[in-house]
Structure 1
Amino acid sequence: MRLLRGLHNIPAEFSGCAVTIGNFDGLHLGHQAILRGLHDAANALGVPTLVMIFEPQPKEFFAADKAPARLANLREKLLDLDADHVDYVLCLPFNQALRSMSADDFIKQVLVDTLGIRHLIVGDDFHFGCDRRGDYQALASAGLQYGFDVRDSSTFLVAGERVSSTRVRNELEADRLDEVCKLLGRAYRMSGRVAHGRELGRTLNTPTANVLVKRHRLPLSGVYAVVARIQESGEEYPGVANIGVKPTISSIPEPSLEVHLFGFSGDLYGQHLTVEFWHKIRGERSFDGLEALRDAIDNDKRSAQCYFATLPHSFRDSGSSRITTTELNFSEATRYER
């Protein structure tokens, strides 16, 4: 997959593609259906696939801090699209110039003149252009004029309701992780680079990896039983994670993801972890001092160990993270170079 940052980075030889446009936040089953249609159209036409996204996302541009929490940051979104074998991702800056561009100008200047579009797939609620005046009908008319096909993706339903990023977000906020899995086709996950933190975990006998989440707001918070994959090596470990703002030790709210891996020994600094959230243990709360926090963390570790140990073997062996019996031998020999 090739990332194109802005229209000025479109290769001179670029001509013809099958395109879809949207936020693709979380890459849920509805998004995945759109991408399958995109691949089918591209293969039939013999052209590459291109997904157009925006940074910031339009709601973030208009609503700033009041915008909903992202399910995926930009890096996570690109990893998901790459795993779906998309050929190109065009990331356009959503700024005042793009916000003010008319629907007709967007079609002519961006889709036709710059991309040489051959096929377009959009969601059933897609709007674009200044004041969102552009819609499917405008695109269909332009397709007849300029010679490209337009397809409106049908609504994707799970349990009789439309799958959307908003629905995923609502299920996360309600701690219904099983429902989230049904909407995403996998466990909800976050990924990021492991960086130096306060190193408080070592003093509490629970060394943790401080994962940079690169978000202003979080779509979930609390303590979870998790499965973490080290992207560089592919190794996977069960563990326990706290995601939130660490109210006991931080006077300034700052999104944080701290992960303790069962059975891991080594140095993770600078590497990337993908953390899957499998089970909610408790909500995030403040404690009266470090001793109370240490006791709570010990209880959290035991709760996570019990959760994984009681999973059916068939689930452990066939789940998205392929946890093995060996990895479920919870040794307290865990050591980090912290």
Structure 2
Amino acid sequence: MELIRGLHNLREKHRGCVATIGNFDGVHLGHIRVLEQVKAKAIELGLPTTVVIFEPQPREFFDGENVPSRLTRFGEKVRLLEAQGVDRVLCLTFNAQLQKMTASGFIENLLLEGLDVKHFVVGDDFRFGCDRLGDYQMLKSAGQQYGFKVVNTQTFVVDAERVSSTRVRRVLEENDFELAERLLGRRYRIAGRVMHGQQLARQLGAPTANIRMHRFAAPLRGVYAVTVYRDQKLLGQGVCNIGMRPTVNGTQPVLEVHLFEYQGDLYGQLLSVEFESFLRKEQKFDGLEQLRKQIFNDIEAAQTYFAQLK
């Protein structure tokens, strides 16, 4: 799969495709249904598939710290799209320049000049352009004028309710991992590279692999029993805390995972943490000794959870 960053990197070889556009946060079963629709038409027309996404996502640009939590970081999203057999991902930087693009400019610069779209799959509630004049009917009219087809995305329903990123986010915030799996088509994971931390957990007798969240606001907060993968291969089971670490006055969200009976250097490695069961909320303790006791209580609780599954 080819990742194209920005309109300025589009070349003649990228013109002529079947395309869709959206945040694709989580790449859930609703998204997968759309991608299947795009791929089927691409096979019929003998054209490549192109998925257009934004980074940051538009609401992250407009809402700042008040933005809703996010299901997938950029790298995870790209890997999930690649796993679905997408040929190309065009990532548009959502900035002040893109914000100012008019609806007609969007059609001309992206769909016509940039991609030369032959078939465009989009939701009928899709709005675009700084003036918010761009909608499904405008796209249909442009398609009729310039010779490309515009069709609706296909809605995917589970338990009589539409599958959406908002719904998946709500389900995860309720720690309903079974329903989340039914909406996503897989167990929920957060991936990232292991960074150097304060090594406080090591001093307390339970070393952890630290994954910084950067701008990513996760839908989960607390302590969980988890399964950890490296390069899609099982690395082990453990207990994870995701949050701000209030006991040590943390200022940035961090995912910390302790692997049972694991010894080795994981710095710089890409891990995927799969969430199995919620254990407790994150809390602030009076001191490090109280924190140390709770860490080992959490380890025991997670081990008990996994033992019950055998």
| Both structures adopt the same fold (TM-score exceeding 0.5) | yes
What residue in structure 1 maps to residue 238 of structure 2?
A: 239
- 1:176 partner amino acid: D
CA RMSD between the two structures: 1.4
Return the offset for 1:235: 3.4
User: Which residue number corresponds to residue 117 of structure 1?
Assistant: 117
Unmatched runs of 5 consecutive residues or more in structure 2 = none
Report how far residue 261 of structure 1 moved: 1.1
Q: Which residue of 2 aligns with 1:318?
A: none
Secondary structure of 1:217 counterpart? coil
Match of 1:162 in 2: 162
How far did residue 126 of structure 1 move? Answer: 1.4
Give the aligned partner of residue 281 of structure 2.
283
Instruction: State the SS of the aligned residue for 1:104.
Output: helix
Structure 2 SS opposite 1:91: strand
Structure 1 residue 145 displacement after superposition: 1.1
Task: From the superposition, tell whether residues 131 and 278 of structure 1 become closer, same or farther in structure 2 (CA, over 3 Å).
Answer: farther
Aligned position for 1:46: 46
Residue 12 of structure 1: CA displacement?
2.9
Does residue 73 of structure 1 match 2:70? Answer: no
Q: Please state whether the residue corresponding to 1:266 is helix, strand or coil.
A: coil
How much has 1:83 moved relative to structure 2? Answer: 1.3
Q: CA deviation at 1:197?
A: 0.4
Using the TM superposition, give the Cα deviation of residue 10 of structure 1 relative to its aligned residue in structure 2, in angstroms.
1.0
- What is the aligned partner in structure 2 of residue 321 from structure 1? none
Letter in 1 for 2:284: S
Question: Contact 2:221–2:243 (CA<8 Å) still a contact in 1?
Answer: yes
- Given that 1:18 and 1:117 are in contact with CA atoms closer than 8 Å, whether structure 2 keeps it comes out as yes
Corresponding residue number in structure 2 for 1:264: 262
Pairs within 5 Å for 1:76-95: 76-95=76-95
Q: What code does the residue aligned with 1:20 have?
A: T
Q: CA deviation at 1:97?
A: 2.3
Deviation of the 1:216 alpha carbon: 4.7
**Pairing of 1:1-338 with structure 2 (within 5 A):** 1-231=1-231, 234-250=233-249, 252-311=250-309
Contact 1:124/1:155 (<8 A) preserved? no
Aligned to 1:323: none
Q: Distance in 2 between matches of 1:215 and 1:276?
A: 20
* SS at 1:241 equivalent: strand
**For residues 6-55 of structure 1, what are the alpha-carbon distances to aligned partners after superposition, in whole Å with 9 as ceiling and x for unaligned?**
11111233321110100001111111111111111111111111110111
1:195–1:210 CA contact under 8 A, matched in 2: yes
| Higher mean displacement: 13-22 or 96-105 | 96-105
Kept in 2, the 8 Å contact 1:225–1:239? The answer is yes
SS in 2 for 1:89: strand
**Maintained 8 Å contact 2:55/2:92:** yes
The Cα of 1:228 is off from its aligned counterpart by: 0.7
Instruction: Assess if the C-alpha contact under 8 Å between 2:73 and 2:216 holds in 1.
Output: no
Per the alignment, in what secondary structure is the counterpart of residue 207 of structure 1?
Answer: coil
CA-CA distance at 1:245 after TM superposition: 0.4
Q: State the SS of the aligned residue for 1:215.
A: coil
Say which is worse superposed, 38-47 or 99-108, in terms of deviation: 99-108
CA deviation vs aligned residue, 1:160-212 (integer Å, no higher than 9, x gap) = 11111111111122222222112111121111100110111111111110112
Give SS of 2:14's match: coil
**1:263-318 residue CA offsets vs partner (Å, 9 max, x unmatched):** 3221101111000111000000011111111111111111111111111x5xxxxx
Q: State the alpha-carbon separation in 1 of the partners of residues 83 and 267 from structure 2.
A: 25
- More deviation, 149-158/23-32: 149-158
Tell me: CA distance 1:155–1:127, structure 2 relative to 1, closer, same or farther (3 Å): same
Distance 1:195 1:62 in 2: 29
Structure 2 Cα separation of the partners of residues 20 and 211 of structure 1: 32
CA distance in 1, matches of 2:219, 2:124: 25
Q: Unaligned stretches of 5+ in structure 1?
A: 314-338
Question: After the TM superposition, which of the residue ranges 5-14 and 72-81 deviates more from structure 2?
Answer: 5-14
**CA deviation after TM superposition for structure 1 residue 236, in Å:** 2.8
Q: Separation in 1 of the partners of 2:124 and 2:305?
A: 40
Distance 2:164 2:124 in 1: 11
Equivalent-residue separation in structure 2 for 1:39 and 1:59 (angstroms) = 28
Contact 1:70–1:215 (CA under 8 A) maintained in structure 2: no
Q: Amino acid of the residue matched to residue 240 of structure 2?
A: A
What TM-score, normalized to structure 2? 0.96
Decide which moves more: 214-223 or 44-53. 214-223
| One-letter amino acid of the counterpart of residue 238, structure 2 | G
Question: 2: CA distance between counterparts of 1:68 and 1:74?
Answer: 15
Q: Confirm or deny: 8 A CA contact 2:69 2:219 kept in the other structure.
A: yes
Mapped to 1, the partners of 2:99 and 2:9 lie a distance apart of 20
